[in-house]
Structure 1
């Protein structure tokens, strides 16, 4: 994640509370951007910054201890481009721009070109920005352009691979955060269950669900989801959390009996589905992850001899849950 000498920082969405620090940075870099006036107090720029904050299209890098801003980046999902990037002079050459650009690119569509309008070759104050874009695979595709304030610019373009991109909030934040609200949550609105999932039990408190072929190639992998919508576990009322964890314990006990697992690993995610749930991973002496975390992305070959064996497991777990309900 970081190279030797890189600064350790928090990268998060910029909020309205960060705007004063963004405006201050814009004022600092106005000469580099060759703006005729102070960019930080320019109405066009401040309107741009406020718009980006409201659309989850602006990121800030912060010092963990002081919470001081190290740099900002703005981008456009609609136009698939980076639209603004700057790092404060006192924090350059420490990987701040790299972390901001890497995180912003995750939010853009990798199936079509990503563009940025930046400084032309030979403009020394803009050399660090050009070097950063080149490092991330951008190449100059148009030159001798003139920016909105009369300064020479160029357009750089990158064709980024979509390989390895999952469905987590790292790549699709607006959809994810919308689904974190009960009125938009697929589970709360009883949308159709994916074909690879099987409801083992539904009661007043939770759903207990099996998956085929199964994350981590682990026989008996399931998850437990509370009926009442929850997003952050720490915000769950104590009574609801107690009820939920009681059901998770019950599922884990039944799962260990049916599978013969040595141990059950419990992982609470909600990085893709924004309705909190706990994954139960049975662990075996001969599983693929000794002294290592489970790689949930591994699903094939299936840990079952056949789909019929998976259905046998589902039936056995139902019986065990019913006998110990």
Structure 2
């Protein structure tokens, strides 16, 4: 018997679609029950075998158990194998100390590239969380099947990642972990290597990132001057350092976005200040979108009226969901830019 959890990356990250059981007798559909997170999912016979569909939006990895109805004996636990749509198309690599996953299209010749920088919750060494932790790399690969999509994983972030309510003047990103300048410089070398191999169109390299990865995108633009044709940092962590860098990016096509109501209360204020300064200094490229709570609600965030204030602010941090669903044509704008280099 073999159990497969079929999953995809949705608006809330890794979501479970169904549990499939192969190699089991047909009568097992009546003799067994599938429990997902403690709740029963109906098990039925299909052409593929026994299938138990999950409720829409069930997060993964959830507790999975197959038990006998007669006595509750456990037949199987969790998945022997998991298939994740699109994320499984990314191949694992490590180069120059950078751990990353790469989805390459079937099309030959130099292709456009999207570089996605994940948030603080996906930092680590597993080489997988950056694909499934949030709507990001896998979704971008589905939206742009002819692009290369590069998803590096940052080393584990330290406790110096600023808490949401730390005053702006005291906020700091640890310079040695997460999206450090050294790591981002090495990432730039990985991208240049792919250009040198003839796999990437030098004029169409695009950068985006969320939360800590949004701040990483701002840092990357500073460290890798001229490498990226345009950038879309989403709800970037704002510190005196990232604010200072952002205000200097006069010659970079840049579209920033965040929720107006966010778990870091001052985030949007410094984004507004930075974009206004860029425009005063003559930048024709600087744009900013602030998503209203109603826009997040359309994607299923902060719709529960029982949420307390802290939970509500955390829900509204998911500004990357409308951004990556191309609200206001943000992604369309991003991939239409060309580098003059």
| Structure with more contact order per residue of length (Cα contacts < 8 Å, sep ≥ 6) | 2
With the length of structure 2 as denominator, give the TM-score of the two structures: 0.23
CA radius of gyration, larger in: 1
Q: Write 1 or 2 for the structure with the bigger share of helix.
A: 1
With the length of structure 1 as denominator, give the TM-score of the two structures: 0.24
Q: Write 1 or 2 for the structure with the bigger share of strand.
A: 2
